[in-house]
Amino acid sequence: MDERLAVAAAHWAVKRPSDKTRWWMHPAILRHINRVVCGQPVDGPHSGFNRLLQDSMPKGGFRKAVSIGCGSGGKEIRLLRENIVQHFDLFEISEPKIEMIRQKAAEHGVLDRVTWHHADAFERDIVGAFDLVYWNNSLHHMFDVAAAVRWSVRALQSGGCFAIDDYVGPTRFQWTELELEMAARVRALLPDRLLVNPRNPNAWLDRAPSRPDVQVMMAAEPTGAADSGRILAEVTTAFPRARIVPTGGIIYHLALNDVLANFDEEQDQPMLESLLLLDEMLARGGHTQYAVAIARRE
């Protein structure tokens, strides 16, 4: 295995706190994203994406699917339980995550419908084996997005479905000047109480977000947004008829990162809803950091 993957595997083997500093921990943001994706503000992460998959699946569900970088497998097991997928091949580089997949699959009664691989999927030459290639917040961890998309096309049967729900923003989170300016303008409007550092109540978050240090980030997790800036271009090249839904993120991901921990669900709900509408307008105008895509191999 690539040495960089070994470092990433060790990074993701460590459990991290759920302190509500990130957008995916907030039900209101998830409902907003789901509405953008499928037209209904349904609850739960990826629920809108799952509805698109359900609309795209053949009768009886996808017979055989593959997911690369599946983590602990919760998203994939949900698709099995909902019979959107009948069988999943799951590739994961973190051995502790593989054990979590086994445990979750057994707990939910789908152990016989999962094949797990503690391996780099791209070392396998797989041709026409799957009717669904599923990427859920893992494509942005690939070092070469073009190669990953080509692998996906090769692995798909004719008429098979390629699906992603992922971060598609700047590579290595090196935000553009315009993105930083938009995020800073939003933070400038927030009351001081929302800028208290959630991990140190005696400190403040910056009013102007900044880019992460690439070398520091790569030392800790070499796969982070490794080639994310090319995702949408490569998807549209491989699948010219792909349905792509930009789901935003300039506000909820960049401007409100860490800040979200200070939002009160009742008191600050009107403010959050207004900011999410702004985020949606920015996404429609081409300023997005996340997207959903569904395509068919012709």
Rounded mean pLDDT, 269-281: 97
What's the DSSP call for residue 250?
I
Q: How far is CA 187 from the centre of its chain?
A: 24
Q: Is-contact 3 223, C-beta < 8 A? A: no
- Is 46's pLDDT higher than 90? yes
pLDDT above 90: residue 12: no
- Helix 269-284 with 27-38: angle, nearest 10 deg: 30
Instruction: List the beta bridge partners of residue 164.
Output: 135, 293
Nearest residue to 81 via CA among 58, 104, 102, 56: 104
Calculate the average pLDDT of the chain.
Answer: 95
Q: pLDDT band for 290, please (50, 70, 90 cuts).
A: very high
pTM for this model (two decimals): 0.95
Q: 201 is written with which tokens? A: 């109540």
Which pLDDT band holds residue 8 (cuts at 50, 70, 90)? confident
Report whether pLDDT(152) > 70. yes
Task: Check if the beta carbon of residue 141 is closer than 8 Å to that of residue 223.
Answer: yes
Strand stretches in the chain, DSSP E: 65-68, 88-91, 114-117, 130-136, 156-167, 243-248, 290-296
Q: What is the pLDDT of residue 5?
A: 79
Q: What digits encode the pLDDT tens for the residues 157-185?
A: 999 999 999 999 999 999 999 999 999 99
Query: So what's the pLDDT on residue 180?
Result: 97
Give the three-class secondary structure for 191.
coil
pLDDT at site 19: 75
Q: Would you place residue 17 in the very low, low, confident or very high pLDDT band (cuts 50, 70, 90)?
A: low
Is there a contact between 238 and 153 (Cβ–Cβ < 8 Å)?
yes
132 contacts 65 by C-beta, under 8 angstroms: yes
Number of structural domains the chain divides into: 1
In terms of DSSP bridges, do strands 290-296 and 156-167 run parallel, antiparallel, or are they unpaired? antiparallel
Quote the percentage of the chain above a pLDDT of 70: 99
Q: pLDDT tier at 11 (50, 70, 90 boundaries)?
A: confident
Cα dist from 75 to 1, 44, 69, 130, 179, whole Å: 25, 11, 11, 18, 30
The amino acid sitting at 43 is D
Q: Domain range for residue 112?
A: 3-296
Give the model's pLDDT for residue 4: 85
Mean pLDDT score, 279-298? 97
Amino acid type, 42: V
Residue with tokens 């993120």: 249
pLDDT-based confidence at 1, cuts 50/70/90?
Answer: low
CA distance 224 to 142: 8
Residue 204, classed as helix, strand or coil, is strand
CA-based torsion, 80, 52, 100, 43: positive or negative: negative
pLDDT at 18: 67
What CATH number is attached to the domain comprising 216? 3.40.50.150
44 near 32, Cβ under 8 Å? no
**Using one digit for the tens of pLDDT, what is the confidence trace for 184-239?**
999 999 999 999 999 999 999 999 999 999 999 989 999 999 999 999 999 999 99
67: nearest Cα among 117, 124, 107: 117
